[in-house]
Amino acid sequence: MIRKYPFDDDLLENLPLPTASFFVLFALADADKHGYRIMQDIRELSGGTVSLGPATLYTTIRKLSDQGLISETSESSGDERRRIYALTSGGRRLLGAEFHRQQQLLDLARRMKVLKIGEQK
């Protein structure tokens, strides 16, 4: 049985998140960061399977900022050219909703025996 999402319908309209948006939000979940650090963290968080170039990263940052999911902080990095980005409460809620959605998919795959944990090839 699939459980109902414990989130508002307006939040659910944004799901599923595009891969780039998901990983930018995920990279900002633990701390505010500048763009290059976000790119490094995405590579690390994904185990090297996702790598965003600068154009994709900054286009995604702009979209997420326009949606109010991330914001530019006033924290100084010592370099006026380097902008620091932070996850907003709305961004954190959306990231949580996406993780919940993905968990439900994994649970379904296990129940349907599509995914078997610990099984050798």
32/117: higher pLDDT: 32
| pLDDT value of residue 1 | 39
pLDDT digits (tens, 9 = 90+) for 60-84: 999 999 999 999 987 655 666 789 9
Residue 40 lies in a domain: yes
Three-state DSSP class for 40?
helix
Instruction: Report yes or no on whether pTM surpasses 0.85.
Output: no
Containing domain of residue 89, as a range? 14-111
Number of domains in the chain: 1
CATH code for position 66: 1.10.10.10
Residue 69 lies in a domain: yes
Residue 9 lies in a domain: no
Residue 92 lies in a domain: yes
| pLDDT value of residue 78 | 65
Residue 76 lies in a domain: yes
CB 41 within 8 A of CB 89: no
The tokens for 47 are 């185990």
| pLDDT value of residue 69 | 95
CB 58 within 8 A of CB 70: no
- pLDDT at residue 6 above 60? no
pLDDT digits (tens, 9 = 90+) for 34-63: 999 999 999 999 999 999 999 999 999 999
